[in-house]
């Protein structure tokens, strides 16, 4: 007889890059080089904008896109996913910076990297899919609102010394600073945003008709808008804030190793922020990978992807970077540009490195108002706003969870929002599953063996799952015990947990005190396994465990063995 193979508990470390070399060709290399260069251009303004919106210097975003982007592509489980800084992290990173400081942000990011790697190693990648879509949409839309709100300062050119991280603090600060409105910044930001909207509409609607896609489609709208805004600001010498005036420009060199000034008094409070970074990064990355699978008809390895994300997030903070994850916009650009393997993502990182080494001085003239407009545009596109319009189509629990997570994300805190959303979704699921579980009495009309047995023998059939949320179905039977035998049919039960098994043990004892037999029928697969491991079968005779209801009813009319 063949012995069953032991279950592999730990995921193997095998990057998708290794699988591409078997049939890699010169044509594929050329396509990957072109796609990587295109994505690098798209990532340039976004990387700087995400870093500055998070309270960091622009080079932090560039270094993250270079280092983390290269590692995620080289070690990840997806062939086409591109990693780097993401808008979803802005609110969390800004909050950590304000509350704990830069040194503890480095520690929190590294801690999240360890968590991500362990999640992948212990094969938890598939569990991320069980997070309810209402929770995901709620906090995604909430983050989008916070990103747009955080960019109002630079969009209007307001003079704000220290912008708070909480919603009411931001609103209060913006209101008190409206007197410092900079019309030049407002004009540049509005023109940049308008150009992005028109560019997107032209590429999606007018392109095939007017031939725009063939000529201009290869130029990212963000780059075109950023170049034009920078040229106008420089030519007309507009009095608005730029990267150079605020940060002194971007260093034209490789990042150096940074060892944080450890403060254990603060670091011990970083577990929850690090966990939030890890959970949010894993959700964002695996959702992005699933979208990429749908566009390329391929399949990613979620556990390998999490391990790669973990390595990237552990390494990048020690080189001046910020948290990183898979990014939907850059991944879709990568796919549409013809990427065929992880080489394209690695090329994207090298292209950004070349920009930093060669063209870093040019970034000093980039106006912050234009970057604010780009971030607002990206935030609007990342939100699932149609879900609010279609809320009436869904049940009340879905609406409550989505809106609760959304408002808690905006007003209170992302961590609290996700926790409340998951708890509410879990309670809703438990209630729904328990309502689907039922216990029905078997009548004599259905089973002739019960004819004339009223008060002597009773039979009940269970449906669904017998778990902690449905044990009341068994507990109610204690008040309906017959004189001779109680027959329970579990043929339609798909799952029994330890609480359900313990309740059945209590029912056995209650039947003995009452002088009645308890006969179990139809136990199979998981239900049979759990009652064995919980010792339930040790409390009843072997003849009182039957394969089906008919044999159980026959056993009920037969005297037990040994009597």
Please spell the DSSP secondary structure of 433-473, one letter per residue: HHHH-EEEEPPTTT-GGGTT-TTTEEEEEEEEEESTTTTHH
96: left (phi over 0), alpha (psi -120 to 50) or beta: alpha
Per DSSP, the three-state class of 461 is strand
Sheet holding 485-496, edge to edge: 438-441, 457-466, 485-496, 517-521, 545-546
> Is residue 413 over pLDDT 70?
yes
Whether residue 17 contacts residue 74, with contact meaning beta carbons closer than 8 Å, is answered with yes
> Is residue 325 over pLDDT 90?
yes
Residues contacting 449, CB < 8 A, separation 6+: 550, 553, 554, 557
pTM recorded for the entire structure: 0.79
Comparing 473 with 7, which gets the higher pLDDT?
Answer: 473
pLDDT of amino acid 156 = 95
From CA 34, how far away is CA 122, in angstroms rounded? 36
The per-residue pLDDT of the chain, averaged, comes to: 87
Whether residue 112 contacts residue 71, with contact meaning beta carbons closer than 8 Å, is answered with no
pLDDT of amino acid 246 = 86
Residue 4: pLDDT band with limits 50, 70, 90: very low
The DSSP code sequence of 364-433 is GG-BHHHHHHHHHHHHHHHS-THHHHTGGGS-HHHHHHHHHHHHHHHHT-HHHHHHHHHHHHHHHHHHHH
| Least confident window among 218-222, 255-259, 466-470, 532-536 | 218-222
Name beta bridge partners: 463.
438, 492
Name beta bridge partners: 492.
463
Tokens of 423: 């708890």
pLDDT of amino acid 143 = 86
| Least confident window among 185-199, 439-453, 509-523 | 439-453
Q: What is the pLDDT of residues 343-363, one digit of tens each?
A: 999 999 999 999 888 887 877
Residue 391: pLDDT band with limits 50, 70, 90: confident
Tokens of 276: 């939030």
Mean pLDDT for the stretch of residues 145-156: 91
Residue 208: pLDDT band with limits 50, 70, 90: very low
Whether residue 125 contacts residue 12, with contact meaning beta carbons closer than 8 Å, is answered with no
């Amino acid at each position: 007889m063949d012995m069953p193979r032991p279950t592999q508990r730990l995921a193997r470390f095998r990057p998708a890059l290794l699988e591409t070399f078997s049939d890699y060709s010169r044509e594929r290399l050329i396509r990957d080089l072109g796609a990587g260069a295109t994505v690098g251009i798209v990532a340039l303004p976004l990387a700087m904008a995400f870093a500055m919106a998070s309270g960091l210097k622009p080079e932090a975003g560039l270094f993250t896109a270079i280092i983390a982007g290269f590692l995620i592509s080289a070690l990840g489980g997806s062939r086409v996913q591109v990693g780097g800084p993401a808008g979803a992290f802005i609110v969390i990173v800004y909050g950590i910076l304000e509350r704990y400081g830069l040194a503890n942000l480095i520690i929190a990011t590294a801690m999240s990297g360890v968590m991500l790697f362990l999640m992948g190693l212990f094969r938890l990648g598939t569990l991320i899919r069980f997070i309810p879509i209402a929770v995901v949409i709620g906090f995604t839309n909430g983050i989008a609102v916070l990103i747009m709100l955080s960019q109002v300062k630079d969009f209007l050119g307001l003079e704000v010394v220290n912008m708070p991280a909480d919603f009411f603090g931001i609103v209060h600060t913006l209101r008190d600073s409206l007197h410092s409105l900079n019309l030049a910044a407002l004009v540049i930001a509005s023109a940049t945003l308008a150009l992005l909207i028109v560019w997107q509409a032209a590429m999606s609607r007018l392109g095939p008709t007017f031939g725009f896609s063939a000529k201009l489609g290869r130029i990212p709208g963000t780059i075109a808008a950023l170049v034009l805004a920078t040229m106008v600001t420089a030519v007309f010498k507009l009095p608005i804030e730029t990267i150079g005036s605020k940060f002194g420009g971007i260093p034209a060199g490789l990042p150096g190793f940074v060892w944080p000034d450890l403060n254990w008094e603060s670091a011990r409070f970083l577990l929850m922020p690090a966990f939030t970074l890890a959970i949010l990064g894993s959700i964002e990355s695996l959702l992005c990978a699933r979208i990429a699978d749908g566009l390329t008809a391929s399949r990613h390895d979620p556990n390998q992807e999490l391990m790669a994300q973990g390595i990237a997030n552990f390494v990048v903070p020690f080189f001046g970077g910020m948290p990183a994850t898979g990014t939907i916009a850059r991944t879709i650009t990568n796919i549409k540009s013809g990427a065929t393997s992880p080489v394209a993502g690695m090329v994207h990182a090298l292209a950004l490195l070349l920009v930093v080494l060669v063209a870093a001085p040019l970034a000093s003239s980039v106006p912050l108002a234009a970057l604010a407009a780009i971030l607002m545009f990206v935030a609007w596109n990342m939100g699932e706003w149609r879900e609010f319009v279609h809320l009436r189509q869904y049940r009340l629990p879905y609406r409550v969870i989505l809106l609760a997570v959304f408002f808690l994300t905006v007003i209170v805190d992302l961590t609290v929002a996700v926790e409340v959303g998951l708890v509410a979704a879990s309670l809703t699921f438990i209630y729904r599953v328990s309502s689907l579980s039922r216990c029905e009495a078997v009548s004599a009309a259905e089973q002739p063996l019960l004819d004339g047995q009223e008060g002597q023998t009773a039979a009940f059939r269970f449906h669904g799952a017998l778990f902690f949320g449905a044990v009341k179905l068994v507990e109610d039977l204690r008040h309906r015990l017959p004189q001779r035998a109680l027959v329970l049919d579990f043929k339609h039960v798909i799952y029994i947990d330890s609480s359900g098994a313990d309740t059945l043990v209590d029912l056995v004892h209650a039947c003995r005190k009452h002088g009645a037999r308890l006969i179990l029928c139809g136990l199979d697969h998981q239900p049979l396994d759990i009652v064995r491991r919980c010792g339930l079968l040790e409390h009843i005779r072997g003849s009182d465990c039957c394969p089906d209801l008919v044999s159980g009813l026959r056993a009920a009319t037969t005297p037990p063995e040994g009597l």
